[in-house]
Amino acid sequence: MITRRMLIAAAGLAASALAGAPTFAQETVKVGLIVPMTGPFASTGRQVEAGARTYMAMHGDTVAGKKIELILRDDAGTADQTRRIAQELVVNDGVSVLAGFGLTPLALAVAPVIGQAKIPAIITSAATSSITEQSDYYVRSSFTLPQAAVPVATWATENDIKRVVTLVSDYGPGIDAETWFTKEFTAKGGEIVEAVRVPLQNPDFAPYLQRVRDADPDAIFVFLPSGVGSLFMKQFADRGLADAGIKLIATGDVTDDDILNDMGKPALGAITGQHYSTAHDSPENKAYVEAYKAAYPDMRPNFMSVGGYDAMHLVYAALEKTGGDATGDALIEAMKGLSWTSPRGPVSIDPETREIIQNIYMREVKEVDGELYNVEFATYEAVKDPAKTSDQ
C-alpha cells in the first residue's frame, strides 16, 4: 500500500535530486571563446572563430546527447578585459569550457578564473611554453615557440647556415623562440652574431635591419606574432637584405597564410617551420579548406584557425569520452592523452603537460597557381614541447 508519507518522501527525493543535479544533466554545453576581434590582433580572432565554426559546420552541434553552444566574446587584445569576460562567462553564462586567448598575456590573465571555477581553458593561439604551467586547467591546441624554433635551428645547421642574427618580438613567445633557436643552433656548431628584440606594439624594423645588414650573417631567424609579418617583409625587401644574400628563416607566424598573398615577391624563398600550412597535403586538410572557404570565401585558413578547429575537437572528443559529463575536472581529464588526425596532421595531447604533440613541417614560400603558399618539404614527426622534456 502506498501511503501519503511515502509519496511525500518520494517527492522530496525527486526535488533534492533535481536541486543537486550535476552539470552533466544540462542539455546545452556552452563554450566561451574569448579572442581579439578588434584592435591590432583582430586577424587572430577572426581566424580562430572561423576555425571553430568550421568544425561545428563539419561535425554538427550535438555530441553525446548535448547541444554545443559557442559564445564568442571580443577582448580587443587587452588582458584585463580577457579576465573580466572570462569571469562573466563563468558566472552569468555558466560555460563549461573557455577557449581562445590571442596573445600570451591574455592567456595568462585567466589562470585565477579557471583555477577557481575548475574548468578547462583551451589555448588556441598563445604559444609561450610556460603558460600551461600556471594552471592545471590549461590545455593547448596551438603550439609552443620552442616546438617550432628547434626544428628550424636543426634544419639551418644541416643546410650550410653558420652565422645567424635572431630578431624577435620582445615578450614571452619571442624570448622562447630566441632561447630555443639559439640553444639548438649553437649546440650543433652555429654562431649567433647578434640577438635583436623589437617592441611588440608598433615595431619599426628599419633601424634593426640596417644593423643586421652590417653584421652580414648567412641568415636572419625571425619570430613575430601573427599579422605583423607583412610590415617586416616589406622592410626586409626595402633594406635590400635578400639582395645582399641574407636568407630569411623563421617560425611560420611570419609567413602567416592569412596575409602571405599580400606580401608578394619579397616572401618568395622564405624558409619557415610550423605545424600548419593551408597547402598541407592530406584528405583531412582538403576537407577543412573546402568547408572553411565555403563559409569564408574571402579568407584563407591559417595556423590560428586550426587552433580554433582543434579546440572544438577537444571539446567534442572529451564529451564523447565522458558520456556527456561536462564538469570541468571530468573534461580536463578526458582531454589528456586524446589523439586524432587534425587538418595539420596527426596530433595528441601529452597527458603529462597538456601540450599538443604534433609534426613540425619545414616549408618554403612558393608561388602555386598564381598564389603564394608555404609549401612543405620536410617533416619533424611528433614533436613535444622541448621546453618541458628533460632530454633537451
Residues that bind ligand DHB (CB under 6 A): 44, 103-104, 125-128, 172-173, 225-226, 253
Shortest distance, position 171 Cβ to ligand DHB, whole Å: 7
Q: Which residue shows C-alpha cell 624570448?
A: 175
Q: Closest distance between ligand DHB and the C-beta of residue 102, in Å?
A: 7
Query: Considering beta carbons, is residue 222 or 330 the nearer one to ligand DHB?
Result: 222
Backbone torsion region of residue 32, taken as left when φ is above 0, otherwise alpha when ψ lies between -120 and 50, otherwise beta: beta
Q: How far apart are CA 72 and CA 89, in angstroms?
A: 10
Amino acid identity of residue 267, one-letter, is A
Closest CB 200 distance from ligand DHB, rounded Å: 8
Q: How far is the CB of 8 from ligand DHB (least distance, A)?
A: 58
| One-letter amino acid of 253 | D
Minimum CB distance to ligand DHB smaller for 226 or for 322: 226
Q: Which amino acid is at 59?
A: H
Q: Pick between residue 140 and residue 239 the one whose CB is nearest to ligand DHB.
A: 140
240-248 contacts, C-beta under 8 A, 24 or more apart: 240/213, 241/209, 241/212, 241/213, 242/266, 242/269, 244/213, 244/216, 246/212, 246/213, 246/216, 246/217, 246/218, 246/219, 246/220, 247/161, 247/218, 247/219, 247/220, 247/271, 248/219, 248/220, 248/222
Shortest CB 374 distance to ligand DHB, Å = 14
Nearer to ligand DHB, 130 or 210 (CB): 130
Shortest gap between Cβ of 42 and ligand DHB (angstroms)? 11
Using the minimum distance from each CB to ligand DHB, give the nearer residue, 43 or 322.
43
Helices (H), 264-340: 283-295, 303-322, 328-335
CA nearest to 304, candidates 377, 223, 225, 385: 225
Helix (H) or strand (E) holding 342: strand 339-342
Place of cell 552533466: 24
Residue 245 beta carbon to ligand DHB: minimum distance, rounded to whole angstroms: 28
Contacts of residue 94, defined as CB under 8 A and 6 or more positions apart, other chains included, come to 26, 30
Name the minimum Å distance from CB 131 to ligand DHB: 8
Q: Which is nearer to ligand DHB, 24 or 232 (CB)?
A: 232
Cβ closest to ligand DHB, residue 104 vs residue 255: 104
Minimum distance, C-beta of residue 158 to ligand DHB, in the bound complex (Å): 25
Tell me the C-alpha distance between 368 and 380, whole Å: 24
Determine the residue type at 138.
Y
The sheet carrying 97-100 orders its strands as: 62-63, 66-74, 28-35, 97-100, 121-123, 138-140
Q: How far apart are the first and last CA of the chain?
A: 74
CA distance 381 to 69: 34
Q: Which is nearer to ligand DHB, 36 or 190 (CB)?
A: 36
Closest to ligand DHB by CB, 48 or 331? 48
Least distance (Å) from ligand DHB to the CB of residue 75? Answer: 13
Residue number, 103 or 372, with CB nearest to ligand DHB? 103
Q: Name the nearest CA neighbour of 383 among 134, 182, 143, 123.
A: 143
